[in-house]
Amino acid sequence: MIMRPDFINSDTATDEVVAKRAQPFDVEKIRGDFPILHQKVHGHPLAYLDNAATSQKPRPVIEALNYYYRSINANIHRGVHYLSEAATDAYEGARETVRGFINARSSREIVFTRGTTEAINLAAFAYGRKYLREGDEILISHMEHHSNIVPWQLLCEQTGARLRVIPINDQGEIIFEGFERLLTDRTRLVSIVHVSNSLGTINPVEEIIRTAHARNIPVLLDGAQAVPHKGVDVQALDCDFYAFSGHKMFGPTGIGVLYAKEALLEAMPPYQGGGDMIKSVSFEKTTFNDLPHKFEAGTPHIAGAVGLGKAAEYIQSVGYDTIEAHEHALLQYATDALSEIKPLRIVGTAEKKAAVISFVLENIHPHDVGTILDRQGIAVRTGHHCTQPVMARFGIPATSRASLALYNTMADIDRLVAGIHQVIKVFS
Amino acid sequence: MDELRELYQQIILDHNKNPKNFKKLEPHTHTAEGYNPLCGDRLNLYLNVHEGVIEDVGFEGSGCAISKASASVMTTAVKGKKLNEVQALFDIFQKVVKSDRGEPVDVDALGKLAVFAGVRDFPVRIKCATLAWHTLIAALKNRDEVVSTE
């Protein structure tokens, strides 16, 4: 039995405890958990509104990383010594935490990757190469991040399959009839973003999955922007693949997850070859390891996985209901306040939105907006947000994007609004 | 905020709003496309060069205030110049935007290009200011490729 401090092996994330903790949201208490927020940038208190790019890390995550390296670092699996056992325990414990976090049936369905990008590449490579042939079609939407476009383009080049694109409307919503029209006998996979990083749109993934499954077409969801904001239950969704990153949900960079149904993973060939993904190797024949290790070649980002598990527990300890309510109020407040700025136009006005607000200012380039806001201590992202087809769809080169998280406040929004007025003043 | 005022000087804002030589030259002897993948700035530059002199220059494209103003000021600086003088101007401009913050700016040597000295305080914006200049050099070398700042 390995003894570890409470923050590594805590069981505070069980459903019962979460239910008990359903208490009024104290944003200042939450902010107290994030050391990085309490600093000045260019002489102003930091207003961090770039959460869709990456989120900040709460103390339990930072401490878990620290503890891992200070106290239990070793290579995992097959070690007979104390530290290796402790590290393995922490790594596999994190997998179990992540399983519970998205309610997967089995931890065999949780493959650790470097992030969402690698998770999608894994699916494209292993699933796509096995099952796609010339003339087959893969369906994505017009609002995908480049990471849910390019892997499929590469696959299409290799297999002769075709990429088809579901259109979106002027609000930045999937045109459902367009989706249905594109589903054909040749469609082999639908790969859709759950929450758009540049528009904030929450896609009707339940209906998409239901519709695709009616034709026996599997569905991959890019959940990178969903998990920081809303609870995901892969069994309830019945998605076939679900990809997400640690760093967008308050965990470390360099770690992410590909969830896939066990039968799919069993049928898929390995993604990379190397150590840990094998049972036995000889020059004549190699036998691959069991799930999920078959897809985890080489020494993984052990500390990252531990940190990700801790981040999942942190989110559960706050509770998605609480997070969603807080962020919804922030989004409403920000949307109303920004809409009052005359030369400002919000890009992405879907009915169902996460707390992401892309906007353009008349005759002022987003890059200039970003620089002037930065000098006031306000961090936003400017550019195409790795969604160049979205920019093309709206006929703009770039946007400024304020993306919110559970630790943002109404005061942050007030700062943003005042900051934008300052931008307009500089240019007037 | 002083640094911001230094960056977004009135001259720069004016050139951004009403850029000089903002036109496609048809016909032209030289052309190149510049691209800054960081922010999506795009710039098409056209030149008419006769007997070693830039007789006319024009540009089109979209970009931030710094990149647009830089392209505009550049066209006014190189129009009528001999090709060997252009390289010297390029070097001077690089010196302005990449020099250390405290270093005094030799306004006499720099002329109208001195307004871009404020970019020094914003390292991530240097590429915005230099895009047009790199595109110019590429056009003169008749490189048939998109010039990227990355």
Per run of 10 residues, the mean pLDDT along chain B (length 150 residues) is 87 95 95 86 94 95 94 96 92 87 77 89 91 95 68
Q: A7: pLDDT confidence band, cut at 50, 70 and 90? A: very low
Amino acid at A169: N
| Active site annotation includes A386 | yes
In the predicted structure, residue A425 carries a pLDDT above the cut 60 = yes
In the predicted structure, residue A368 carries a pLDDT above the cut 60 = yes
Report the alpha-carbon distance of residue A34 to residue B2 in Å, rounded.
Answer: 31
**pLDDT at A415 (0 to 100):** 98
**Could B65 and A398 be called an inter-chain contact, meaning their C-beta atoms sit closer than 8 Å?**
no
**pLDDT at A2 (0 to 100):** 46
**pLDDT at A169 (0 to 100):** 98
3-state secondary structure of B121: helix
**pLDDT at B145 (0 to 100):** 59
**pLDDT at A14 (0 to 100):** 47
**pLDDT at A19 (0 to 100):** 46
In the predicted structure, residue A194 carries a pLDDT above the cut 80 = yes
Q: What is the mean pLDDT of chain A?
A: 94
In angstroms, the separation between the Cα of residue B5 and the nearest Cα of chain A is 8
Q: A73: pLDDT confidence band, cut at 50, 70 and 90? A: very high
Measured between CB atoms, does B62 come within 8 Å of chain A?
Answer: yes
Give residue A312's region: left, alpha or beta (phi > 0; psi -120 to 50): alpha
**Could A375 and B4 be called an inter-chain contact, meaning their C-beta atoms sit closer than 8 Å?**
yes
**pLDDT at A16 (0 to 100):** 47
In the predicted structure, residue A111 carries a pLDDT above the cut 60 = yes
Q: Mean pLDDT across the stretch A46-53?
A: 98
Q: Mean pLDDT across the stretch A216-226?
A: 98
Q: Report percent pLDDT > 70 for chain A.
A: 94
In angstroms, the separation between the Cα of residue B55 and the nearest Cα of chain A is 31
Q: Mean pLDDT across the stretch A108-137?
A: 97
| Closest alpha carbon to A176 in A139, A207, A136, A220 | A207
Q: Mean pLDDT across the stretch A242-268?
A: 98
Measured between CB atoms, does A307 come within 8 Å of chain B?
Answer: no
**pLDDT at A282 (0 to 100):** 92
In the predicted structure, residue A254 carries a pLDDT above the cut 60 = yes
Report the alpha-carbon distance of residue B39 to residue A385 in Å, rounded.
Answer: 9
**pLDDT at B70 (0 to 100):** 96
Measured between CB atoms, does A367 come within 8 Å of chain B?
Answer: yes
Give A-chain residues touching B34 at CB under 8 angstroms.
Answer: none
| Closest alpha carbon to A402 in A352, A327, A343 | A327
With 0-12 / 13-18 / 19 or more C-beta atoms within 10 angstroms meaning exposed / middle / buried, residue A321 is middle
User: Tokens standing for A400?
Assistant: 């400024």
| Higher per-residue pLDDT: A43 or B40 | A43
Report the alpha-carbon distance of residue B82 to residue A160 in Å, rounded.
Answer: 52
**pLDDT at A18 (0 to 100):** 45
ipTM: 0.89
Confirm if A180 and A217 have CB atoms less than 8 A apart.
Answer: no
Q: What is the pLDDT of residues A13-29, one digit of tens each?
A: 444 444 444 456 899 99
Burial annotation A149-160 (CB, 10 A radius, 16+ → b, else e): bbbbeebbeebe
Model-level pTM?
0.92
In angstroms, the separation between the Cα of residue B96 and the nearest Cα of chain A is 20
| Closest alpha carbon to A188 in A208, A161, A153, A214 | A161
Measured between CB atoms, does A383 come within 8 Å of chain B?
Answer: yes
Give residue A6's region: left, alpha or beta (phi > 0; psi -120 to 50): alpha
